[in-house]
Chains A and B, each alone.
Chain A
Amino acid sequence: MDVRTVNDIIDKYEGKKTALISILHDIQDRFHYLPEKSLKKVARRLEMDLPEIYGVATFYKAFSLTPRGKHAVTLCLGTACHVRQGPKILAEVRRVLGIEPGQTTPDRQFSLNAVNCLGVCAIGPVMALDGKFFGEMSPLKARRILGKFQKKGNGGRA
């Protein structure tokens, strides 16, 4: 882990405590998770106690203390998506990827997240792949999109 990067991120926010969550977001974006060393550095520079930082890092769902996969598959678990067969799509994705929400595939390619509402309810049920939203999903559509993505490997739009 590049200590300079963490320092730069903290500098960007002027080491302000209000920016703690933003700092952690940036660190996570850079390293795909929150390395222990980075949290210790943040604690030191922001003059906060380590249990506090650890508490924040484990409280908010956006953060992971273990390395996440290259690609993020996010399923929406909002109520609107739920009544429109959301759980069936989650079941299909779990089966295709072989992991549970919060886990990463052994080859570190995919991480599965289940989020409590993405805010695009009118086009539910929604699945997001690396930030790209797919609306009006169904189990079969999800299967096909993931299949295409897995074959293409890096990038490639479904």
Chain B
Amino acid sequence: MKIKQVNLTIDGNAVTVEEGATILQAARQVGIHIPTVCYMETLSPYGGCRICVVEIVNRKGQKPFLDTSCTHEVREGMAVDTQSPRVVRTRKMLAELLVASAPNVKIAQDIAARMGVTRVRFPMENSSCILCGLCIRMCYEQMDGKALGFSGRGIHRQVQMPFRTRPETCRLCRGCDFVCPGVIVPCEGTKDPGELCGRCVRLDDLPKCCPQETFGCFCERNPL
């Protein structure tokens, strides 16, 4: 049975993918880079960090809107802009919010550096969890641990084990640690507590370590 092909344009480039593919998958197919935080290829897409938003026009003449490329499925005739002013402005603010909340989580600093955030206008906190939910999805979808979940809501949302105790179903597989972006701290740690880093982008002060394969690093050399 032939799988239907869908034609769309991303940044002006014509792309043809299988029906059911997401915009992110289509973009990667033609080498267009869209930054992500809460997305991991082997897990279901979540669409919580909103960093991967793109501007979408479904049909000519319709009002363009933003949606996360990791969850939005392609449609025939769709036109996608991954770098429109609206997208860039949004991503920049999201990066600023992310790094203000978790400056010692490497990916927050990476995204901020990538988006050219030069100052943080909010009081810096120091959370080690960015609520990306990767650990929960890893636990449920790949490791069948059923041990982690979100609790609370709104600004009080947290990732927790029920009643703060490890349930019997947890096999200590450490899958959650493996995928957690918060486990990886900025290259040399931030110079000052709660600092906006960005050293790997500002070439005047290149850090000694520059791991090419570090999860989430957005150096041009990274295949992601």
Contact = CB atoms under 8 A, between A and B. Distances in A.
A59 B152 contact: yes
A53 B163 CA distance: 11
**Interface size bucket, B side?**
10 to 19
A51 B147 contact: yes
B161 interface: yes
Contacts of A52: 149
Interface in A18-61: 36, 39, 49-55, 58-59
> What 8 pairs across the A-B complex have the smallest Cβ distances?
A51-B149, A54-B162, A58-B151, A50-B162, A49-B146, A55-B149, A58-B152, A59-B153
A54 B146 CA distance: 12
Interface of A: 36, 39, 49-55, 58-59
Contacts of B146: 49-51
24 contacts: A36-B163, A39-B162, A49-B146, A49-B149, A49-B169, A50-B146, A50-B162, A50-B167, A51-B136, A51-B146, A51-B147, A51-B148, A51-B149, A51-B162, A51-B167, A54-B149, A54-B151, A54-B160, A55-B149, A55-B151, A58-B151, A58-B152, A58-B153, A59-B153
Contacts of B169: 49
Contacts of B147: 51
Nearest to A43: B162
A51 B159 CA distance: 10
A58 B157 CA distance: 9
Interface in B141-157: 146-153
A36 B165 CA distance: 11
User: How would you classify the secondary structure of chain A's contact residues: helix, strand, loop or mixed?
Assistant: helix
B75 to A, nearest CB: 32
Most central of A36, A50, A53, A59 by chain B CB within 10 Å: A50
Nearest to A53: B162
Nearest to B163: A36
Nearest to B165: A36
Contacts of A53: 162
Nearest to A51: B149
Contacts of A58: 151-153
Given A36-B163, A51-B162, A59-B153, 12 more contacts: A51-B148, A51-B161, A51-B167, A52-B149, A54-B149, A54-B151, A54-B162, A54-B163, A55-B149, A58-B151, A58-B152, A58-B153
Most central of B149, B153, B161 by chain A CB within 10 Å: B149
A36 B148 CA distance: 16
A36 B164 CA distance: 11
A46 B163 CA distance: 19
Most central of B136, B151, B169 by chain A CB within 10 Å: B151
Contacts of B136: 51
Contacts of B163: 36, 54
Nearest to B154: A59
Contacts of A50: 146, 162, 167
A55 B149 CA distance: 7
Contacts of B160: 54
